[in-house]
Amino acid sequence: MSDNARKTRIILHIDMDYFFAQCEEREHPELKGKAVVICVYSGRGGDTGAVSTSNYEARKLGVKAGISISRAKKLAPNAVFLPVNMELYHYMSGQMMEILKEYSDKIEQESIDEAYCDLTEKVTGFEEARMLALKLKNEIRQLVGLTCSIGIGPNKLIAKVASDYKKPDGLTVVRSEEVLHFLAPLKITDLIGVGKKTGERLNELGVKIIADMSKLSTDKLIRDFGQAKGLWLKQASQGIDDSPVEERQGTGQISRIITLKEDTKELQIILEAIDQLSEDVYMKLQSRNIEFKSISFIAISTDIKNHTKSLTLGVPARDVETIRAKIHELVKSFLLENPIPLRRVGIRVSNLVEQKGQKTLGDY
């Protein structure tokens, strides 16, 4: 196939909105509308430590990631301050990523709350990609209870910039022929890779927006920033990016969750739902040729709070008998300790490793 006939790539970038704080709002609906600040406490007592992130209400008051907790409390004295809860955030991330895997075989998880997805072979054009993105956003809202912003473009660079273009709950599609027009008025710091120092040097060269940078010669940019960075800046200003969407090894969990037909604490009803999910998890492990070392029972109670109960195996496994037996143990133990009606239940397997030999229940 000639270069002219080569199919245009269609790349989607998904970025969860104010992720940590939004997870907390989902778990605690009473926080909605309030300024919420997620903190990393130093462990030295008091308000020592730094802000990890905040929701938009807190950001409007000047609370930003990286500032001290004590300063944040001066800026937003009525805000709700919470410690980071990585168990919750990883669970939510796993749910979102599992949904995303139903939309494409080529996914690159960039961080806990964002990922690239190659749709080139899944859709016929950008309009179909837009419709798919709307469906994806709705599914994440319905199943996970979170909003996200999505960008779609002919490469990873444009898709990433597009996902930041409208927040929160945004969707921006940039077709191939629209790239230069889309980039031209944006700030140079809107390009991922243009940090504070690079931005300051470009300002000294009279560059404020991407259109300004695109007018600089490649030679000029190379002289000021070096061969690799200078060439990248020139290509980025023109929306050029050939980097592939590549799955990163070791993204370590698979989860499945189901809404029960009615709220219940009846063991048999819950176990029947769990058995169905066990088969789903088993098939996913089989398809990826991986094993797990940790397994968790996930329970969402009628007050929408998330509960988990986990155990770690002595050696990795992936057979359905082990999944079913271990998750049954966790369900029974959880219900003994927490005899509460449940709305949704799920399974998560984590600490994933490539299969090195089939293990069965007898190995334990």
> Which stretches of the chain are assigned E, i.e. beta strand?
11-16, 36-41, 49-54, 80-83, 107-111, 114-118, 148-153, 171-173, 253-264, 290-301, 306-317, 342-350, 353-354
Residue type, 9: R
3-state secondary structure of 346: strand
Token pair in block for residue 182: 């889309």
Domain ranges of the chain: 11-18+88-175, 19-85, 184-237, 253-363
Range among 12-26, 249-263, 284-298 rated most confident: 12-26
- The pLDDT score that the predictor gives to residue 364 is 39
What CATH number was assigned to the domain covering residues 11-18+88-175? Answer: 3.30.70.270
* pLDDT at 305 exceeding the cut of 80: no
Percent of the chain predicted with pLDDT > 70: 93
Rg (Cα) of the chain, in Å, rounded?
A: 23
Q: How many Å from the N-terminal Cα to the C-terminal Cα in the chain?
A: 54
Residue 267: which of 169, 342, 323, 217 has the closest Cα? 342
Neighbours of 207 (CB within 10 A): 21
Cα–Cα distance for residue pair 96/255, rounded to 1 Å: 10
The alpha carbon of 151 is separated from its chain's Cα centroid by a whole number of angstroms, namely 14
Residues 6+ apart with CB under 8 A from 208: 187, 188
Q: What is the mean pLDDT of residues 56-65?
A: 95
**Half-sphere exposure of residue 106: CA atoms within 13 angstroms, side-chain side:** 15
Please give the Cα distance from 161 to 152 (Å, whole number). 9
Give the count of beta carbons closer than 10 Å to the beta carbon of residue 226.
11
Amino acid at 165: Y
Q: Does the active-site annotation cover 337?
A: no
Note the pTM of the prediction, 2 decimals. 0.72
Say which CATH topology domain 253-363 has.
Dna Ligase; domain 1 (3.30.1490)
Pairing relationship of beta strands 290-301 and 342-350 according to DSSP bridges = antiparallel
Q: Could you tell me if 62 and 84 are in contact, meaning their C-beta atoms sit under 8 angstroms apart?
A: no
Distances (CA, A) of 141 to 136, 203, 272: 9, 40, 26
pLDDT given for residue 248 in this prediction? 64
Distance CA 268, CA 280 (A): 19
pLDDT value at 304 more than 70: no
pLDDT given at position 286: 87
Range with the poorest average pLDDT among 173-182, 269-278, 283-292 = 283-292
Q: From CA 259, how far away is CA 257, in angstroms rounded? A: 7
Strand-strand pairing, 290-301 and 148-153 = unpaired
Task: Say how far residue 73 (Cα) sits from the centre of its chain.
Answer: 28
Phi, psi at 19, each rounded to 5°: -55, -55
Domains 184-237 and 253-363 share a fold: no
Give residue 140's Cα distance to chain centre: 11
Q: Is 95 helix (H, G, I), strand (E, B) or coil?
A: helix
State the Cα–Cα distance between residues 194 and 186, nearest whole angstrom.
Answer: 12
- pLDDT given for residue 122 in this prediction: 92
Query: What distance in Å separates the CA atoms of residue 335 and residue 227, rounded to the nearest whole number?
Result: 62
CA nearest to 157, candidates 123, 199, 110, 124: 110
Residue 249 has pLDDT above 70, yes or no: no
Which pLDDT value is given to residue 288? 80
Which tokens in the block code for residue 73? Answer: 């409390």
Phi-psi region of 226 (alpha: psi -120 to 50; beta: other; left: phi over 0): left
* Contacts of the segment 336-340: beta carbons below 8 A, 24+ positions apart: 338/299, 338/307, 339/265, 340/265, 340/301, 340/302
**pLDDT tens digits, one per residue of 85-144:** 887 888 888 888 878 888 887 889 888 899 999 999 999 999 999 999 999 999 999 988
Whole-angstrom distance, CA of residue 315 vs CA of residue 317:
7
Classify domain 184-237 at the CATH topology level. DNA polymerase; domain 1 (1.10.150)
What CATH number should be reported for the domain whose range is 19-85?
A: 3.40.1170.60
Residues 153-172: tens digit of each pLDDT: 999 999 999 999 999 999 99
For the four alpha carbons of 154, 132, 299 and 354, in that order, the dihedral sign comes to: negative
Which is the catalytic residue, given 24, 57, 98, 114? 114
| Segment among 11-25, 175-189, 208-222, 244-258 with least mean pLDDT | 244-258
Asked whether the predicted pLDDT for residue 252 surpasses 80, the reply is no
- pLDDT bin (cut points 50, 70, 90) of residue 176 is very high
